[in-house]
A = this chain, B = another copy of it.
Amino acid sequence: MKFSIKRSEFLKSLADVQRAISSRTTIPILTGIKIQASEEGLTLTGSDSDISIEAFIPVEDEKNNLTIDQAGSIVLQARFFSEIVKKLPDEMMQIEVLDHFQTLITSANASFTVNGLDANNYPHLPVIDTQETFSLPINLFKQIIGQTVIAISTHESRPILTGVNMVIENGKLLAVATDSHRLSQRIIPLEVSSALADQKYNIIIPGKSLIELSRTLDERHENIEMMITENQVLFKTENMYFYSRLLEGYYPDTARLIPESAATEIVFNASSLLGSIERASLLSHEGKNNVVKISISPELVEISGNSPDVGNVKEELAYISVEGESIDLSFNPDYMKDALRTFGQTDIRIKFTSPVRPFILVPSEDNQNFIQLITPVRTF
C-alpha cells in the first residue's frame, strides 16, 4: 500500500473514525485504525465492536489531493497514528507499507516508521442485508438525539434503559428514553416510501451510539439514511457509514406513564427558569438531599433550596401565566436542568397533577410532539 494525501482532509476522516475506537477494548486489533487503499480512494475503519465507523476519501474529489500509488491495507495504532498525523510538518503526507507490516509515514523532512498489523485480522463489519431505507433530515435528527439521550439510564442493571427506543409507524418516528425517574419523548413526521408505509419498526439504539453519531453528523449534509436489520442499524451519509448494534429485549410501555390531565399549569420562559433552578440548586448539591422545592399559589410562585451546613436560597419566579390549584412539590434539580436545556429559549408549559405524581414539561405551543417528564421527590 502506498499513497499521498492532503493532511488536513485525511485528519478530518481520521477524527470521525476515531470516535468508534476505545482504548478499553478487549480485542487488541480494535485499538487500531484500518486503512484500505483502492483505485477509487481510501477507506478508514474504526470499531469498538458496538459501534463501527467507516469513512471513505475518494480520489475523484480534488480537494483531497489523493494519489494511490499502490493498493493494499494496514492496521495502525489509532492513538499514535493520529498524534503523528496532527504533528507532521507539511501540508501533504505519504504512507507506505514496507516489509513485515512496518509502515513509513513521511511529510517534508520528517519520517516515522511504525509497527502495523495485518489488516486481514481486522474483524468484518456487520452485513446490512436490507434495501429498506429511511431518510432523516440531519438537523432534526440531531435535535431528537439531544432531547432524548439526557434521560437514558447510566446504570447497567437494566441494560435496555441505556438505549433510546425508536418506533417508526404511520409516517412518524417516536423516540423515547427513560431511566425510570424521568422520561424524554419526541415525535417527528417521517417521509416513508409507499412500500414501507405499512411496516412497523421498533428498535432500541444504545444511547452512547447516538451521542457519537450526533458528534460525527455534519450539518452541511441535509439528510442521513437509516437502514435497520434485526440486530444492527446503519446510518449513511455521503462518505460515512456509521454502524451500531441494537439492544435486545422489549422496551417498557412508556405511554401510560405520561399523565393526561393536570391540576396546575404554569408557563415559563425555559432559559429564565433554568437560571433560577441553577441558583436554587447551588446549595442543595452539597447536602444529602439534592432537592429543590417549588411552591405555586395565586399570590406567589417561588423556588427554594437549602443545605443545613451552608445555608438556604429562595427566589420568586417570573412566570408568564398560571392556572389551577396551588401546589408545593420537590424535585431533583439536575433532572430539571437537563430537561430545560433541551427547550433552548422557548416558552414551556409545566403540568402538575399532584406532589407525588410525575409532572411534564412541553413547549407552550405544542402538547403532543415533545415531552419531558420528571418524577417529584417525596420529602415527607
Contact = CB atoms under 8 A, between A and B. Distances in A.
Nearest to A103: B311
Interface of A: 77, 80, 83-84, 87-89, 102-103, 109-115, 275-276, 278-279, 282-283, 286, 309-318
Main secondary structure of the interface of A (DSSP, over half): mixed
A95 to B, nearest CB: 13
A108 to B, nearest CB: 8
A83 B83 CA distance: 37
Contacts of A275: 87, 89
A47 B114 CA distance: 51
Closest 3 CB pairs of A and B: A114-B311, A110-B315, A109-B316
A110 B80 contact: no
Given A282-B83, A283-B80, A315 B109 contact: yes
Given A89-B275, A275-B87, A275-B89, A313 B282 contact: no
A89 to B, nearest CB: 6
Contacts of A314: 110-111
Given A110-B279, A115-B311, 17 more contacts: A80-B282, A80-B286, A80-B310, A80-B311, A84-B279, A84-B282, A84-B313, A87-B279, A89-B315, A102-B311, A109-B318, A110-B314, A112-B279, A112-B283, A113-B313, A114-B283, A114-B311
A163 B283 CA distance: 38
Contacts of A89: 275-276, 279, 315
Contacts of A87: 275, 278-279, 282
B115 A276 contact: no
A41 to B, nearest CB: 26
A29 to B, nearest CB: 15
A278 B84 CA distance: 10
